Structures are given as structure tokens and as C-alpha cells.
Amino acid sequence: MITKPTELDVEAVREQFPIFRRTIRGKQLIYLDSAATSQKPQSVIDAEREFYERYNANVHRGAYRIAEEATAAYEAAREKIARFLNAPSKECIVFTRGTTEAINLVAYSWGWANLKEGDEILLTEMEHHSNIVPWQLIAQRTGAKIKVVPITDDGLLDMDAFERLLTEQVKIVAVTHVSNVLGTINPVREICQKAHEVGAVVLVDGAQAAPHLPVDVQAIGCDFYALSGHKMCGPTGSGALYGRKELLEAMPPFMGGGEMIRTVTFERTTFNEVPYKFEAGTPPIAQAIALGVAVDFLTSIGMEQIRAHEVELTSYALERLQEVSGITIYGSAPPEQRGGVIAFNLNDIHPHDLATFLDAHGICIRAGHHCAQPLMRRLNVAATARASFYLYNTPDEIDALVEALKEAAKFFGR
Ligand code: PMP
């Protein structure tokens, strides 16, 4: 029997986010851009402030009380992220500044060491630039080739094409868990299984998944998983890379500097153990600690509850948006295969004009190419508007979006 998660108390959630007390031009702030960055609860804001007020010190080096406190809190945050992702141990978690840095780490470290001419890197048509460009840079240096899995007209990955493209030449598959434009949730578990059959490793870009769904890296079976703290109620400048420990151990360092070494002479350097080998220099300490608090916050609410809330909101939004004549919605994955992201256009109104119009109503949406220009080309558009939802959004906010879009159509005379 499937037990339904208990319903989320959205009002209680919203009270924990001070920004929602703000008004914009006399109107309540309606934030529908969490795919770009999420808002932060008070506990996360307090955690960062408390670090600076009470135990600001560098980590892993001080021999005094506050440095020990800082190190303990930093390492506890690593442990929390490991548990959040069901990683086998905290040594599998490398702190990064976000998904972009995590993917670059894998591309430069794993990619440079393992790719050569004749090898292939398999990406998909729905990747964010940060899961395309690092691979292009590495392909140029190593002679490996990039191949791309197309999407279907419904905005799903074309799995038949994936299987055709997945040859023995493919050494790494880099795929987004959830599309930041179409909202599509990709079958990452199946992708990992198939990729492993040909001996390829898999990097999953979890930027749009880790904040919204329960993620279990062991069940997925991925080799790498990248996430951004700022999209999951944590601070900017925080994020993480999960990597299988054997892989991380075999990989060369990404950046050189303090902290990542064991001994240094001018002739030779030996490196620290994982994950420290990948954390050169002073890390964003307050941010990592506060990311741990964001993980506590999300866990205390429950990822199943958050997911269920977003499924409801997205279904409601998709239904209500049909009332807006002239709207085109990109991607038609069924609710169980879709996250809380809806990209759309309204007649031929430029998405930036639409976003400016909505801003006058206190509604924040994103407009542009969403760092996914190849996908825009596939969809035959230069840009789209995008509304994205999180645990603090309500059906009333979707009603406000729909009404404002109807007004926009009238205002622009279309
Ligand atoms: N991948 C996806 C799917 C994203 O949506 C984003 C952020 N828009 C990124 C990667 C990059 O994340 P960050 O800018 O936090 O490094």
C-alpha cells in the first residue's frame, strides 16, 4: 500500500521565510523563480550570522576552541549532506560553490585523466550550459567527442536514441536529473544501469532535483551527483559533489593550494585524502554550515511532502494556464515525470516584456534562454518565460499568475 505523505502546512512554512513579509509596489511578493534560486528560511540566515558572531575561524587548522567549533560544524554539514543523498559516507561529499563547480571538477579531474581521442562524452539536448561547456573544454583538450541524446516532442529524453548512442566508445554520460526548462524528470536509474553495462560512468546534474525530490545516490547508482545549495534553501556559494569513493580516490586534484596537500616540496607534492584533496584553499565555511541547516530544514519538512506539494501545485498550474488564450507550454511530461517548472510563451509577447509586466504585479518569473540555448533551438524559440515552484508557493499565487497573464494579453493587445 502506498501511504500518502501528510499535507504540507504552507502557511507555517511561509512564516519561516522573512522575505515573504516584503511587498513590491504595495503588492505581496509572489516568488515563482525558485529554479533560479530559492528563498532562505530564518534558520539558514541565523546559522550564517551565528557563525560570524560566535565562532568565525578557519577550518582544519586552528588549535583553539572556536576553530574546533568551526571545523566540527563544517564536517557535521558534510555528514548531513551525505545522509540527505544517502551517500555511503561523508568522504564521498566534496563541498563546492555549486553545481557548476562540481561539474567542472569532474570534467577537469576525471575527464582530463580518463578521456582520450576516440572516446565519447554523452550529453542530452536538455542540458544546462554548465553541463555542456565544461565537457566541450575537456573534449578540446583530450580529443574526445561529444554526442547528444535528443528529446522527443513531448520533452522527454528519447531513450531509444540513448541506447543507440550508448556505444563502447562512451566513457561518461552527463545528464540532468530534472530539466530546468521542461521540468522533465529523467530516468536516471535506468540511464546509470545501461551506461554501466558499456563501462561508462554517469554524472547526474542534480541542481533542479536535490531541492525538490528525495534523492538516493545509491539507489540511482550514479558515479557523481552535483547540487547547488542556493537552490535548496541554502546560501549562495554553497554546493556539493557526491562521488563514488574509489573514483574520487583515483582522480587527480582539480585545484592546487592549501588544505588539499599532505607534504609539499619544490620537487613534489603529495595530496590529502578525499574529500580534502578536492577542497583547495579556505572554503566558504559559513555557507557550508548553513547549507547543513538548510538540509535540516528540508528534512524536517520531508522531501516526500515537498514533492507531493509541488506535484499538486504544478498540476493545478498546468490546468489553470490552459485558460490563458495564446499560451504555449513547453514539455508535456506526465506529473510523475515532471518537476515544478513550467516554461511558456504567450502569443508573440517577448518573455522579457511579460516578466516586466508581471513584476508590476509583484510576481517574479524568469525570462530568457535559461542557460539552455541548445534546448531553445530544439524548441524553435529564442527565449521563454518560466514559472517555477517550491515548498512555499500556494495555489493563490498561481491564480494571481494566471490573472496577470490574462491582463498581459489584453495590455499587449494580443
Ligand atoms: N544545472 C541545472 C539544471 C541548473 O538549473 C543550474 C542552475 N540554473 C545549474 C546546473 C547551475 O547551477 P549553479 O549556477 O548553482 O552552479
The reply to whether 1 falls in a domain is no
Is the confidence at residue 2, as pLDDT, over 60? no
Q: What is the structure's pLDDT at 259?
A: 86
Task: Answer yes or no: do 289 and 384 share one domain.
Answer: no
Rounded CA gap, 91 and 75, in Å? 10
Q: How many folded domains does the chain comprise?
A: 2
Task: Answer yes or no: do 309 and 329 share one domain.
Answer: yes
Q: What is the structure's pLDDT at 249?
A: 97
- Please enumerate in sequence order all residues whose Cβ is within 8 A of that of 395, keeping only pairs 6 or more positions apart, or say none: 313, 316
The reply to whether 145 falls in a domain is yes
Q: pLDDT of 322-348, one tens digit each? A: 999 999 999 999 888 999 999 999 999
Across-strand partners of 345?
328
| Residue that wins the pLDDT comparison between 85 and 414 | 85
Q: What is the extent of the structural domain holding 339?
A: 10-40+302-411
The reply to whether 238 falls in a domain is yes
25 pLDDT band, cuts 50/70/90, is confident
The reply to whether 4 falls in a domain is no
The reply to whether 162 falls in a domain is yes
The reply to whether 51 falls in a domain is yes
Task: Answer yes or no: do 247 and 358 share one domain.
Answer: no
On whether the CB atoms of residues 123 and 135 are closer than 8 A, the answer is yes
Task: Answer yes or no: do 129 and 247 share one domain.
Answer: yes
Ligand 1, atom 6: closest residue by C-alpha: 207
Across-strand partners of 27?
24
Q: What is the CATH number of the domain that holds 347?
A: 3.90.1150.10
The reply to whether 215 falls in a domain is yes
For the full predicted model, state whether its pTM sits above 0.95.
yes
Cβ atoms within 10 Å, residue 79: 15
Q: What is the structure's pLDDT at 63?
A: 87
- Choose one of 273, 300, 327: the last residue of a domain: 300
Q: Clarify whether 222 is annotated catalytic.
A: no
Q: Identify the residues whose C-beta falls under 6 Å from ligand 1.
A: 98-100, 128, 130-131, 176, 180, 205, 207-208, 228, 371
Q: pLDDT of 380-404, one tens digit each? A: 999 999 999 999 999 999 999 999 9
| Residue that wins the pLDDT comparison between 217 and 60 | 217
Chain-wide mean pLDDT for the chain? 96
- Choose one of 248, 272, 300: the last residue of a domain: 300
Ligand 1, atom 14: closest residue by C-alpha: 100
Task: Answer yes or no: do 203 and 290 share one domain.
Answer: yes
Reported as type and span, the H/E element at residue 176 is: strand 170-176
Rounded CA gap, 315 and 94, in Å? 36
Q: What is the CATH number of the domain that holds 148?
A: 3.40.640.10
- Find how far residue 87's CA is from the centre of its chain: 17
Task: Answer yes or no: do 295 and 317 share one domain.
Answer: no
The reply to whether 354 falls in a domain is yes
